[in-house]
Structure 1
């Protein structure tokens, strides 16, 4: 399905019935990365799986960054009357979720942030050094992102679940900084997992999301 928001066309798919849940994928991906997770959640949630601007089947534009993409999702929520939906964001999708909560926390219910960082310096050094000077626009978006400060994270009032893999590319220091600055947050590190492995094989993840979103 397509919808016009913020002057562009976004592609999205809807699965299941129940509590509304919006899924936001990571860099260079599409909503299809979530298909294994969707299979395990669609019996309990009405899932809106979105292709972000410049990804998947959504429209491609010259300019794109996390703030613009958050505005896309804000208008998506307004247009489809999804106020009160929860967000599950992975990597860049989690950054978009943070910007959305900072823009208007009341439009959301809960946040699930998977493998999120709030500054490029929160990436492991080997990963940072390998890509920091890459001129690819998708890498530039990651490495030119404006840091989200601790005092901004303090403003987020939504119940928030923060999940990382034990071997994530996000530093432990960054993980704990985010957790400590979001007041109503819960932190989980999944043993044996890396940045994306628990998304692709979500046997551990789906129950965490179900339990967190379902509890009122």
Structure 2
């Protein structure tokens, strides 16, 4: 699949992959700094942002999408950074095609299985009647019945767009995501580890990477280390962007 992406900066290529319900736009504030050191590819994964929709949606096909992007761009290898679902996508790519990945950064996700925990978000998104929707404010009011946090609602509603006739549409492929949400929690496994330099970055206030996860991380990524960003939860790049930028630079420039 030909993914939508935004290319900026100069230097070694760094491909950044967003998480569930997100898009390349989530990384613009980070990109403004990192583009000084790297050629950035900010990617919309399939069924997200401005990339095409598909019934096929799992980590194998999402990793293949990144491989195709590299081939189209003439890249023999690159640095990769992925957050949450994007972190699992880049882990899958590194384990399947280690020659493509020079260094790997995984933001606030482990290789393990995660149980379903997005049902309330999906209920809220599916409750918004796009055909009758008159404004984004109305959409927010409906979503507020399911999600109290206004920051999370604002993030989710970034995927609300308009078609050529001005009618509201979802940029995300909501039906497929709703049907196949269990795929997001799938574990990443491989008989052969990825042995190149790898950095796992956790949010200090997040429970996505726990002490128990270190065994799986070390087994699959033996040349890795794990650090936690202080005063950050799961959305560490939005909550502590300066710390994330400093951490990424230090790792990739070493």
TM range (shorter): 0.7 to 0.9
Q: Offset of 1:208 from its aligned partner?
A: 0.8
* RMSD value, Cα: 2.3
Report the counterpart of residue 66 of structure 1 in structure 2.
59
SS in 2 for 1:120: coil
Q: Offset of 1:106 from its aligned partner?
A: 0.9
CA contact 1:165–1:191 (8 Å) conserved in 2 = yes
Q: Offset of 1:87 from its aligned partner?
A: 0.1
Name which of 194, 201, 205 aligns with 1:156: 194
Q: Offset of 1:32 from its aligned partner?
A: 0.6
Q: Offset of 1:79 from its aligned partner?
A: 1.9
- Residues 110-168 of structure 1 show CA distances to partners (whole Å, capped at 9, x for unaligned) of 000001232334x6xxxx56649x7964366453344223xx27511121010010121
TM-score calculated relative to the size of structure 1: 0.83
Report the counterpart of residue 177 of structure 1 in structure 2.
215
Q: Would you say 1:209 and 2:209 are equivalent positions?
A: no
CA contact 1:52–1:69 (8 Å) conserved in 2 = yes
Change in Cα spacing, 1:200 to 1:61, as seen in structure 2 (3 Å) is farther
**What stretches of structure 1 of length at least 5 have no aligned partner?**
1-7
Q: Would you say 1:111 and 2:149 are equivalent positions?
A: no
Name which of 38, 45, 51 aligns with 2:38: 45
Name which of 207, 213, 230 aligns with 1:191: 230
**What stretches of structure 2 of length at least 5 have no aligned partner?**
124-174
Change in Cα spacing, 1:130 to 1:113, as seen in structure 2 (3 Å) is closer
Report the counterpart of residue 5 of structure 1 in structure 2.
none
Change in Cα spacing, 1:190 to 1:155, as seen in structure 2 (3 Å) is same
Change in Cα spacing, 1:141 to 1:185, as seen in structure 2 (3 Å) is farther
Name which of 69, 75, 85 aligns with 1:82: 75
Q: Which has the larger radius of gyration?
A: 2
CA contact 2:2–2:69 (8 Å) conserved in 1 = no
Looking at structure 2, the residues matched to 82 and 11 of structure 1 have their Cα atoms a distance apart, in angstroms, of: 16
Greater shift in the superposed pair: 102-111 or 134-143: 134-143
SS in 1 for 2:242: coil
Q: Would you say 1:35 and 2:73 are equivalent positions?
A: no
Greater shift in the superposed pair: 40-49 or 179-188: 179-188
TM-score calculated relative to the size of structure 2: 0.71
Change in Cα spacing, 1:171 to 1:200, as seen in structure 2 (3 Å) is closer
Looking at structure 2, the residues matched to 168 and 153 of structure 1 have their Cα atoms a distance apart, in angstroms, of: 29
Aligned residues: 200
